[in-house]
Chain A
Amino acid sequence: MSEHEITLTVDGTEETLTVAARTLLVHALRDELDYTAPKVGCESGTCGACTVAVDGDAVKSCTRLAVQADGSEVTTVAGLADDDLHPIQEAFHEEHGLQCGYCTPGMVMTARELLAETPDPGREEIRAALKGTVCRCTGYHNVVDAVETAADLVETPDAVGVPDHPEGDATDRTTTTEDG
């Protein structure tokens, strides 16, 4: 069936590839382009281990067709760090916010969006934000500790490393007319 040439910017590198319409973004990233940071967990859109940032938004890459992401900027957890760990990664390390680590790419990428929008979240806010990211080791307590610590380490939203959204944020897209 139909095939499509798409361009993705993954962790700062522009990649052009041909995908079948049915190819999921996570498989394009892992199998075609060798970006193995997003994990395949439940394969049903529930566990969130495949979470990456697409144009700045945390998205489950198993619930997105690769062709839908054409032209997007994709950031995986591996793209957060340069030589040093990103502050969120550092916080997960310090607080033992992982056991087997399989869910960690999703946890970190989801926490990143939370901290970009809510720099000092409470524990309930952290739990609510991580609803779509499941840890089968059930190590949630330390994960929440890690996000709290990350909030302390991340001093400005810029340090969370969310790239500029090409469409502008939700506020920009909300317009109000004077006769309202």
Chain B
Amino acid sequence: MFPPEFDYRRAETVAEALSLLSDHADRDVRLLAGGQGLVADLKAGAATPDLLVDVGDLTSLAGVTVAADRVTVGALATHAEVATSATVREHAPVLGATAEHVADLQVRNRGTVGGNLAEADPTADLPAAVVAADATLHVRGPEGERTVAATRFFEGEGRTVLGSDELLTGVSLPARTAGAYARETHPATGYAMAGVAATLDVADGVVSAAGVAATGVADRPVRLGTVEERVVGAPVEDVDPAAAAAGAAEPIAADRLVGDAHASGEYRLQLLPTVAERAVEQALEGAAAGGGPA
């Protein structure tokens, strides 16, 4: 499968990338990072842009840093980098635990955090992690930088709040004690039928904060407040993951369910409490061990 023809420009700086987006506002322009979603879409004819602006060389958007109890991940950090980063494992374990589940080894080597989030695939793993983690997404546009809460970033299948003249530059999240990601994977497609990311903060043996979010079930990642409420305030050893996860499906509105030929929305919803139970259980194990999942 050869992609249809298009023009290609490689941006050397963030400013140049933004200029290219503005200068070609009358054309169908797509940003290219690792290309693990977009190049496949080009070949399948699912994307037919006039121009690709390659931001893959913007080294200022790479890497992981931690400062003042916040972890910042550049938009161009790859899933492989996030999954193997000791900094992520220590300070944002939910992100590392999620990144290691993404696709396969080859895709993790080139697929990026920013590309994955901007793609807004309802079955993608990382969106659940950033929503669970109360992350902030950093966006640059012609007017400068703005920040968007992860909970407000996703607007549906393939849709985000990003404007056509904007670039996602990174994501920052508060440091947390423990985090985990569990999913039920379709054996043939490899995609999540239901995935749950869970973060926990623990102080003096008591769960002081929790963030739990689902992917693969609705048209965007959804916070599972009913699960969080049953975890927060309890001593770590007293939390019953099954009881906490029993109401996991409640926050999902029926008209936002997504399904495909492999698994209907209703089936995905049925899976959700079990997957949420596993995620909470693994996060609790991580908290007991002082970090991410064993």
Q: Chain A residues in contact with chain B, CB under 8 A? A: 1-2, 4, 20-22, 24, 27, 43-45, 48, 51, 54, 57-60, 62-65, 67-68, 110, 113-114, 129-133, 170-171, 173-177, 179-180
Contacts and interface: CB of A to CB of B under 8 A. Distances in A.
26 contacts: A2-B6, A2-B8, A4-B8, A21-B7, A21-B52, A22-B2, A22-B5, A48-B106, A54-B110, A57-B110, A59-B106, A60-B107, A63-B36, A63-B110, A64-B35, A131-B190, A132-B104, A132-B105, A132-B106, A170-B78, A170-B81, A173-B77, A174-B86, A175-B63, A175-B64, A175-B87
B105 A110 contact: yes
Nearest to A178: B67
A3 B190 CA distance: 35
B5 A110 contact: no
Contact of A45 (B2, B36, B62): B36
B39 A65 contact: yes
Contacts of A177: 65-67
A27 B5 CA distance: 15
Contacts of B110: 54, 57, 59, 63-64
Given A45-B36, A63-B39, A170-B85, A179 B8 contact: no
B42 A22 contact: yes
A150 to B, nearest CB: 16
A133 B69 CA distance: 39
A16 to B, nearest CB: 17
Contact of B35 (A21, A63, A176): A63
Contact of B109 (A24, A58, A65): A58
B109 A44 contact: no
Nearest to A48: B106
A1 B87 contact: no
B253 interface: no
Nearest to B83: A170
Contacts of A2: 6-9
Contact of B80 (A57, A67, A110, A133): A57
B190 to A, nearest CB: 7
Contact of B63 (A20, A45, A173): A173
A43 B43 contact: yes
A135 B264 CA distance: 29
A139 to B, nearest CB: 19
A60 B69 CA distance: 37
A2 B10 CA distance: 12
Contacts of B1: 43-44
